[in-house]
């Protein structure tokens, strides 16, 4: 009787355990699903960052254009992470924060905007310890959302030091 109990117990125990092959199949399936989902996740992340940058640029340019229309002039040139005093009450605080793609926003007036001729522009400029991402696909996506998709023409261009320049007035 004891032999029968042992046989019953070992059959039951074998049926409750997973074999190495079964575990490997599950791991491979999970890996394939993850590999299929990563490109979609990357596109969603890039789109989210791009949309945030585009919304920021539109919000900031609206504040600068409004100031220009009300006062007949543009605010003075500024530094990265510094809100020009003329529009301090109109600009949201994210003007001084790190952008979703790295770097900081900077108001640019009457000086070449990173090698691009523009009278008034907003630049996303790299800072020490905070570079702009080097993903050209991300920057082209932002350009496509706001402009023509070509970073060498239109209102959104790539500057000589790879900063993003959004031209408000040429």
How much is the pTM? 0.79
pLDDT at site 11:
57
- Please give the pLDDT value at position 2: 53
Residue 39 inside a domain? The answer is no
The sign one gets for the Cα dihedral 71, 73, 79, 80 is positive
Least confident piece of the model among 12-21, 81-90, 96-105: 12-21
- pLDDT > 90: percent of the chain: 60
Mean pLDDT of the region 21-37: 93
Average pLDDT score, the chain: 88
d(CA 131, CA 166): 18
Which residues in the chain belong to E strands, given as ranges?
104-109, 120-125, 156-158, 164-169
The reply to whether 3 falls in a domain is no
Residue 31 domain-assigned (yes or no): no
Q: Is residue 5 part of a domain?
A: no
Residue 156: inside a domain:
yes
Domain count for the chain, please give it.
1
In this prediction, what percent of the chain has a pLDDT beyond 70?
91
> How would you class 167 by CB atoms within 10 Å of its CB: exposed for 0-12, middle for 13-18, buried for 19 or more?
buried
**Which of the residue ranges 15-19, 72-76, 144-148 has the most confident prediction, judged by mean pLDDT?**
72-76
Identify whether 16 is part of a domain. Answer: no
Q: Give tens-digit pLDDT for 52-73.
A: 999 999 999 999 999 999 999 9
Q: What is the DSSP string of 115-159?
A: TB--SEEEEEE-BTTBPPP--HHHHHHHHHHHS-S-TTSSSEEE-
In this structure, is residue 120 part of a structural domain?
yes
Q: Does 21 fall in a domain? A: no
Q: What is the mean pLDDT of residues 137-164?
A: 90
What's the confidence (pLDDT) of residue 130?
77
Enclosing domain of residue 78: 50-169
With bands split at pLDDT 50, 70 and 90, how would you rate the model's confidence at 95?
A: very high
9 vs 65, residue with greater confidence: 65
Region class of 53: left (phi > 0), else alpha (psi between -120 and 50), else beta: alpha
Per-residue tokens: 117: 């001729």
């Amino acid at each position: 009787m004891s032999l029968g109990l042992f046989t019953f117990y070992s059959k039951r125990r074998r049926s409750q355990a997973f074999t190495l092959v079964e575990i490997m199949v599950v791991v491979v399936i999970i890996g394939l699903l993850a590999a299929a989902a990563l490109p979609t996740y990357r596109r969603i992340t890039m789109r989210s960052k791009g949309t945030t940058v585009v919304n920021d640029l539109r919000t900031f340019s609206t504040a600068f254009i409004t100031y220009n229309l009300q006062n007949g002039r543009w605010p003075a040139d500024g530094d990265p992470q510094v809100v020009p005093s003329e529009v301090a009450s109109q600009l949201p605080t994210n003007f001084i924060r790190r952008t979703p793609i790295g770097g900081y926003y900077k108001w640019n007036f009457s000086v070449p905007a990173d090698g691009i001729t523009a009278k008034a522009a907003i630049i996303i400029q790299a800072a020490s310890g905070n570079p702009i991402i080097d993903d050209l696909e991300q920057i082209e996506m932002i350009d496509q959302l706001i402009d023509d998709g070509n970073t060498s023409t239109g209102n959104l261009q790539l500057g000589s030091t790879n900063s993003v320049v959004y031209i408000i007035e040429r």
